[in-house]
Chain A
Amino acid sequence: MKIWASLAAAVLALSAAISPAAEPRRSGYDDSSRETQAMQDDDAGNPAFLWVRQGEALWDQDCKGCHGAAGTLRGVAARYPLFDPRANRLLTLEQRIVQCRTDRMGAPAFAWDDERLLALSALVGLQSRGLPLNAEPREPFLSQGEALFRERIGQLNLSCAQCHEERAGLRLSGATIPQGHATGYPAYRLEWQGMGSLYRRLRNCLNGVRAEVFAPDSPEAAALALYLAVRAKGMRVETPAVRP
């Protein structure tokens, strides 16, 4: 018995020694099923790469003239949302791409859910895959974003934090409530059978609590995205992720 007890203690000590420093933050990947993780792990099986491919074609057509060949924007997506001093506003990556089109190219803006915008942001996001999220915690946007995250909203009178912090890991109608770290957007969601931006995901939640949905180019959308990015600072970019 004594031998078994000491052996068990040794095994416990060993497993404690080899487990990495506990990272309490879990990305949506960690909370996904093995099958969903496998889809994300294999670029040949990740349907988001259909959008990446489309993004490469668009890049060659519209962006290459200024930015050079695709692949020059490593690390860029990890810094968004970013404050633009010229426009004096906070911009998400999608808003930046639209701004580049309208201001610099004189081209018509993409609608926020345009497949081409998803394709380009997936292409730019992919170039930061594996890098730590590193958005600048700029005020007053960060505080505005956090206030939005903690404010009770909608007819259900729920805040983001009540689900994604206090009840993260519990179940909501059969699905695990994730911690809400936006590490993989734009992402392919199986529920959508398609690609979607972080804004689409936020709109989902806002609708879910029956709150008034803020506009895709609103300061609220950018501020909340910034708070989420700073909250997930140091976590790895997974774009383009696969989510359930």
Chain B
Amino acid sequence: MDRVLINVPKQVTRGVPFEIKILVSHPMESGQRRDQMGQAIPRDIINHFVAMLDGELVLEADFFPAISANPFLSFSAVAEKSGILTLAFTDDKGEVRTETAAVTVG
């Protein structure tokens, strides 16, 4: 999860849904594969995702295997005023990555 790309429109309209697009670099190792020595490769996926807008929950999701590496997430939100979008990703290693993006209501 060393790189996260967040795409939010430069300006959004009050009360009108806008699209948030996210790319996260992550191997999303399914746990089903074996290495060249026949050893199982342990599962390592992003298993939890939370999006908050100014402290208010926008989307919370549990992830399971069968999501590709470097997943692409897209969802809609509605904002009443400008604020900070906070995204938190948790993976199987327990690493939590938090990213923020500004949402500007114009």
Number of A-B contacts (CB under 8 A): 33
Complex: chain B residue closest to A49, CB-CB: B5
Does A45 contact B68, Cβ atoms closer than 8 Å? no
Over the window 1-45 of chain B, the binary record of Cβ atoms lying under 8 Å from chain A Cβ atoms (1 yes, 0 no) is 011010100000000000001010101100000000000000000
Minimum distance in angstroms from B46 CB to a CB of chain A: 14
Does B21 contact A47, Cβ atoms closer than 8 Å? no
Which residues of chain B from 62 to 90 have any CB-CB distance to chain A below 8 Å in the complex? Answer: 68-70, 72, 74
List residues of chain B with CB within 8 A of the CB of A50. 3, 5, 23, 25, 70
Does A45 contact B69, Cβ atoms closer than 8 Å? no
Minimum distance in angstroms from B9 CB to a CB of chain A: 11
Please pick, from B2, B23, B27, B74, the residue contacting A47 in the complex, using a CB distance under 8 A. B23
Is A53 on the interface with B (CB-CB < 8 A)?
A: yes
Complex CA distance for A49 and B52, rounded to whole angstroms? 24
Please pick, from A44, A190, A194, the residue contacting B21 in the complex, using a CB distance under 8 A. A44
Complex CA distance for A44 and B21, rounded to whole angstroms? 7
Given A193-B68, A193-B69, A194-B69, CB of A45 within 8 Å of CB of B21: yes
Is A37 on the interface with B (CB-CB < 8 A)?
A: no
Complex CA distance for A47 and B68, rounded to whole angstroms? 11
List residues of chain A with CB within 8 A of the CB of B23. 44-45, 47, 49-50
Given A49-B23, A50-B25, CB of A44 within 8 Å of CB of B69: no
What would 5 more interface pairs be, CB under 8 Å, given A53-B3, A193-B69?
A44-B21, A47-B72, A49-B23, A50-B3, A193-B70
**Could you name 15 residue pairs across A and B whose Cβ atoms are closer than 8 Å?**
A42-B21, A44-B5, A44-B7, A44-B21, A45-B21, A47-B70, A49-B5, A49-B23, A50-B25, A50-B70, A53-B3, A54-B3, A193-B27, A193-B69, A194-B69
Of all A-B residue pairs in the complex, the 6 with the closest CB atoms, nearest first, are A44-B7, A193-B69, A47-B70, A44-B21, A50-B25, A50-B3
Residues of B whose CB lies within 8 Å of any CB of A are 2-3, 5, 7, 21, 23, 25, 27-28, 68-70, 72, 74
